Amino acid sequence: MVKERERKGKTPALRKQQDNNSWTTPPNIESVHKCRTKKRKGVQDKTPRKKIRVSVTTRASTTCQDHIKRKMTEEVEGCSTPTKKKKGLLQQVQTKETSSSMDNSSGDIRKRNLKRKVDDFEESPMKKKTKKEQVTSQRAKFQKKYTELHLLGEGGFGSVFAGYRQKDKLPVAIKHIPKENVFLKHKDENGRKMALEVAIMLKLRNLTTSSSGQLALVSLLDWYELEEELVLVMERPMPSEDLFVYLDEHEGCLNEEEAKIILKQLVEATIQLQDANIFHRDIKVENVLIKSSSEGPQAYLIDFGLSCFDRGRKFALLRGTRDHVPPEFYRLKKYTAGPTTVWQLGVLLFEILHNKMFKTISFLTNKLKINKRLSKNCQDLMTKCLKEQPKERPTLEELLSHPWFS
């Protein structure tokens, strides 16, 4: 989800509803989202950064329609045109003798086909009615259990609304995703197909309930498959706001002590995701919730719409924010979960300590530099996270044991 930062005084909802202009993508990258830009007050760059979720699917052209067209083409090409030849007298006689029996049998076949079509026509409305009843039942359950309030945010995948559970007034976030945007599917152990985001959130819910400590992850409470959309109901910590807005309220950047608390919680959360073979792929200030309390800020990682299950493979399709692309994707057109997650955590730390929008290209060409006024340990941790070579970056476990967190 990408937002535009405007001058102080405008509401977050207004900042979250600006569309973005198109951009030229690097090789193998294709934008599939409407995006919006944010401008952080006090940012030195005159041109606001455009944060864009990018999603590439090399199999995007293999749609059902393409398959049908290809099938039809194969069938047409496979049929040869018969050569016209004069029939002999004997062949003509045989044709006349068999034509009557063919007519009779074809008449029976037409009757059977007609009956079959009538039966199908009579059964079809019943099937549609049953499916419609299921959708109506799901919607009724959702409306009976939850009350939806104002818009929290809007992006390329869908919209998120504030709400509450009616029985106990528990605050919730309700995410509406149009069915055409649910292009990542997952099949569970029972063979049931579901949206990949739902499968990941269900696994996260098990992580949260089995953990003895508090994880920096938002839990899924309910989900509903409706006719035209997928509805996810998630917990909403209160009072909370995303880290992007939180930075605005703190003059664009945080001090080291507060940044250390937030980043440590996120590193611990990503270690939990790594152990569960989950790759978030889009860690950034917009996808972190900050709950304010007397004990200090509590961070929550949100929005798993671009996430996937990681099984140690290399990814060739980029999904995430354009300005945060890891350097190895530009060079090798491939990236892996661990080093990319460490890179994104380094990007997040850079933004919350510098009051500047991060761009990979600008950083690699030394147009963006780490502030020398930061502590030596902080500079060292950030430098290691933002190493150009993925093998030179620390693991998440090594990152957590860094002296800066001591």
Going through 122-263 in order, the beta strands assigned E by DSSP cover 146-154, 159-165, 170-178, 185-187, 193-195, 220-225, 229-235, 240-242
402 φ, ψ (degrees, to nearest 5): -65, 145
Contact 306, 281 (CB under 8 A): yes
Contact 265, 218 (CB under 8 A): no
Q: How far apart are CA 376 and CA 268, in angstroms?
A: 22
Selected catalytic residue, list 282, 303, 310, 323: 282
SS3 content of the chain, % helix, strand, coil (to 5): 45, 15, 40
DSSP 21-56: ---PPPTT----S-------TT-S-SSPP---EE--
Q: Is 387 exposed, middle or buried (0-12, 13-18, 19+ CB in 10 A)?
A: middle
Work out whether the CA dihedral 326, 393, 307, 37 comes out positive or negative. Answer: negative
Work out whether the CA dihedral 386, 288, 260, 41 comes out positive or negative. Answer: positive
3-state secondary structure of 193: strand
Q: How far apart are CA 51 and CA 244, in angstroms?
A: 12
282 as an active site residue: the answer is: yes
What is the helix (H) or strand (E) element at residue 272, kind and residue range? helix 256-275
What is the helix (H) or strand (E) element at residue 279, kind and residue range? strand 278-279
Q: How far apart are CA 353 and CA 74, in angstroms?
A: 60
Q: How far apart are CA 18 and CA 192, in angstroms?
A: 37
Q: Residues 258-292, buried b or exposed e (16+ Cβ, 10 A)? A: bbbbbbbbbbbbbbbbbeeebbbbbbbbbbbbbbe
Q: Which of 284, 269, 267, 270 lies closest to 322, judged by CA?
A: 284
Q: How far apart are CA 404 and CA 376, in angstroms?
A: 9
Catalytic (active-site) positions: 282
